[in-house]
Amino acid sequence: MDRRTFARGMCLGGAATFALPMVRFAQVPGDGKLVFVLLRGGFDGLAAVVPLGDPDYVKIRGSMAFEASDVAALEDGFGLAPGLAPLRSVWEDDELVVLHAMAIPYRTRSHFDGQAILETGLSRLQGSSDGWLNRLLQIMDGERSGIAVAAGMPRSLSGPHPVASWSPAQLGAVDDPYLDRLAVLYRADRRLHDRFEAALQLRELASGMESGGAGPQAGRGRVAPVMTAAARFLREPGGPNVAALEFSGWDTHANQGMAGGQLDRLLGQLSEGLLTFRTEMGDAWRDTTVVVMTEFGRTARPNGTRGTDHGTAGAGFVLGPRVARSAVVTDWPGLGERALYQDRDLNPTLDTRAVLKAAIAGTFDLTGAQADRVFPGSNDVRGLWTLMR
Amino acid sequence: MNERLRALNRFGLGARIGEVEELDAPRRWLHDQVDAAPSDDGGDDLPTVREIGAAFSGLREAQRSRSEDAIADARRGLRELVATEVSAAFARRVRSERPFVERLVAFWSNHLCVSASSKQQVAAFAGHYERTAIRPHVLGRFEDLVMASAKHPAMLFYLDNFQSIGPDSLAGRRSARGGNARGLNENYARELLELHTLGVDGGYGQDDVEALARILTGWTVAGVGPAARDGETMRFAFRPILHEPGAKTVLGTSYGGGSRRRGGGVEEGEEAIRDLCRHPSTARFVATKLVRHFVSDDPPGEAVERVAGVFQESRGDLREVAHAVVELDEAWTTRHRKFRPPQEWLVAVLRAFRVEEVPERAPGVLRQLRHSLWAPPSPKGYEDTQGPWSDPDALMNRAELARSIARPMRIRDPRVVLSVIEVEDGDPLHDALGDPSIPVRDRVALGIGGPTFQWR
């Protein structure tokens, strides 16, 4: 597969964009890459990033409290759950920021509203708003593109800026008169033709990957193969600037488990995926930032079925060489009875958008004003600029 | 616009070759389907609650015996039971002579969805759930539909209510004394409000969710969960020992406590569910979803008002509501089109060619298209807008499937496909299907895999 094929696949915007392939590289807004990983279902921040130093932690978590010996210590009394312990290596390289007591700006315990708020980057629900990643592509200058490496198009990337999608299920042959004829039919459908064109291009790229023996490895967690595929798209010169990935299964209402349990296995897959991604990116990792977020945290106390119910604030991560240094960033509200939000959830003290603004500004060298525009109506939310170099 | 094709495709499950010519009065045809006597549940040969329960106790016994062969056998038995339900339900959609009613079954089944991918028990009961809790009520009263859903083991398992315990119930206090406190699970209560009745903006708060969860404690499945006795058939049971005593307030209405005997009973939950179903927010929420399903991803406000009005005035009579949906002018214009989700697409393909026997690989195809029967990724059910189904990957999947479906077909003239879809004059499909330089099977594949077939 050559570079032009790839560029064509990624730019569905119309003929003008590939008329000048040689000029294109001069227009690329730096070499920054941003990966947004959405953990759908509300992942339990208190079980992932353990506030061991909080005097009320053991009392409030009860039978679901970790012992200090189970946890990979970070700083300020916080530590990573066993499944996330492999991320210690990223921490030691000064490439891991852990966020805590963070929440979207809208108080809801609905998965669907929460995800919509996080993915649109707005402060309240609005019918059919664009995703914030799409808005980011809209405000950036020059040639830029986005890809969903997921089964389906995540809301975060939806909007008028054309984007591509690819799911690991799709692999196959290239020369194919049937598909060429089908492409002719699709060109007459204004609502679908961009999408089908993208499918053809991605298929070409994927088959190139296959013949290189680079297919997703079997017998591993489900996160790593998807992250591997993402890395292969992103590290390509002229490849996408932003990618949206998503993983579900975090809605642990019952039998959440401790070390080796349900949630911990998922966390293990997530660490494995992130580490694999870092390796696969090779040199391109230098300019890459990965943001991991979820729609809400979970209740501070376990529920009656050894799980946790929908809560409010939770944890998240920013990874990559462009972070200023490894740190646990939080204005910790505490877990005392009176510190909880509505007497049940970790109290939110950090707006997801403050983190996202800093991450995009640091990755793409945007000004604060440009970052603000990606999140309309958020001028009162200051970006956490110190997060990034 | 062709009214006949519109009736067959937008409200039905896809026109069959030759069917358009037979259809004289499209709207009448739809109304008649709604007015006809309810058909049976089609479950004569399908597993009963007793058989599903027996399959589970078989598995439990096998696990106790630790014989690997016995466990494998029992697991296979359960898998076969699920496969039987899936192919029966799919065959029903493919063969139905009342396709509009089948669409309503699928709609309500998705509105009150359970997901077989969540728990083994849900997988085993999902088909039974659609046959016995959804199907009999889709032209009945909404509150009976929701009630049947609330009391079906599939839902009780899916959203965890079967294991929810009132903290102050007898069982709750006993477990606390034993140092192993178990308690409330608000999963079902929340989704009942958010997804089944009022909708997320319907005007309830966290207190209402918790109170409703307390009201519904004790709603469980016999034979499993807390307070189970050996040898019981797995069906709905109300267990007073799990039920939270005292008064609870949902949306300003008080349930339980007061003059009632201590601890209340199953009627507390029944009253609460009926009240939620009669709430004005419910009428709006349900009407919006119906209009989105039958008219447009972006439901026109006036159409929603009309359907909500009929819902409210008829006190949730879904037969009246179905008639009102057929009479929406917005559904009969070329302004609004809907993208066929994968299940509808595959059913339409099979119906178009009058394939009566459902291919064995149909469940695998639906899995590949991320639209297996009763397996949505969340309690919200499968999405009902174009977005999630028409990304590049999904279109390519359909293209490849169209090719493999068309390969074994024996069609003399691929242009018959033009008779089952609304094709505009300038559509290049006309030329492609008549192009003798293209192999016939590729032309058929272009017909069903091309963009025009994807719309209804």
CB < 8 Å to B165, chain A? 304
Residue B453 pLDDT > 70, yes or no? Answer: yes
* pLDDT for A215: 36
User: CA B204, CA B189: separation in Å to the nearest integer?
Assistant: 12
Q: Report pLDDT digits (tens) over B92-103.
A: 999 999 999 999
CB < 8 Å to A251, chain B? 378
Residue B251 pLDDT > 90, yes or no? Answer: yes
Q: What mean pLDDT is reported for chain B?
A: 93
pTM of the shown model: 0.70
Distance from CA of B437 to the nearest CA of A (A): 12
* pLDDT for A196: 87
- Residue predicted with more confidence, B231 or A256: A256
User: CA B184, CA B172: separation in Å to the nearest integer?
Assistant: 9
pLDDT band at A29 (very low <50, low <70, confident <90, very high): low
Burial letters for B75-85: b for 16+ Cβ neighbours within 10 Å, e otherwise?
bebbeebbeeb
* pLDDT for A105: 96
pLDDT band at A221 (very low <50, low <70, confident <90, very high): low
Chain A residue nearest residue B445, CA to CA: A178
* pLDDT for A212: 36
pLDDT band at A27 (very low <50, low <70, confident <90, very high): very low
* Chain A interface includes B167 (CB < 8 A): yes
Q: Report pLDDT digits (tens) over A284-327.
A: 999 999 999 999 999 999 998 889 999 999 999 999 999 999 99
CB < 8 Å to B390, chain A? 192, 195
Q: Report pLDDT digits (tens) over A123-140.
A: 988 877 899 999 999 999
* pLDDT for A170: 46
Domain ranges of chain B: 1-158, 342-454
ipTM of this complex > 0.90?
no
* pLDDT for A16: 26
Q: What is the mean pLDDT of residues B257-261?
A: 55
Residue A208 pLDDT > 60, yes or no? Answer: no
User: CA B390, CA B402: separation in Å to the nearest integer?
Assistant: 15
* pLDDT for B235: 92
Chain B residue nearest residue A345, CA to CA: B206
User: CA B392, CA A8: separation in Å to the nearest integer?
Assistant: 15
Residue B136 corresponds to which tokens in the numbers above? Answer: 């009999």
Residue A211 pLDDT > 50, yes or no? Answer: no
Residue B179 pLDDT > 90, yes or no? Answer: no
| CATH number assigned to the domain covering A3-168+223-387 | 3.40.720
Residue A6 pLDDT > 80, yes or no? Answer: no
Q: Do A109 and B165 touch (CB under 8 A)?
A: no
Nearest to B363 by CA among B12, B55, B126, B29: B126
Q: Cα angle vertex A78, ends A74, A79, to 5°?
A: 60
Q: Report pLDDT digits (tens) over B87-146.
A: 999 999 999 999 999 999 999 999 999 999 888 899 999 999 999 999 999 999 999 999
Q: Do A192 and B160 touch (CB under 8 A)?
A: no
End-to-end C-alpha distance for chain A, whole angstroms: 35
Nearest to B52 by CA among B134, B144, B146, B120: B120
Nearest residue, CB atoms, B388 vs list A152, A181, A199:
A152
Q: Do A253 and B397 touch (CB under 8 A)?
A: no
Residue pointed to by tokens 């109304």: B31
Domain ranges of chain A: 3-168+223-387, 171-215
CA distances in angstroms from B85 to A132, A294, B155, B221, B260, listed in the order given: 42, 35, 17, 21, 42
pLDDT band at B30 (very low <50, low <70, confident <90, very high): very high
pLDDT band at A1 (very low <50, low <70, confident <90, very high): very low
| Most B CBs within 10 Å, among A174, A182, A253, to test the B interface | A182
Q: Do B449 and A109 touch (CB under 8 A)?
A: no
Q: What is the mean pLDDT of residues A77-106?
A: 97
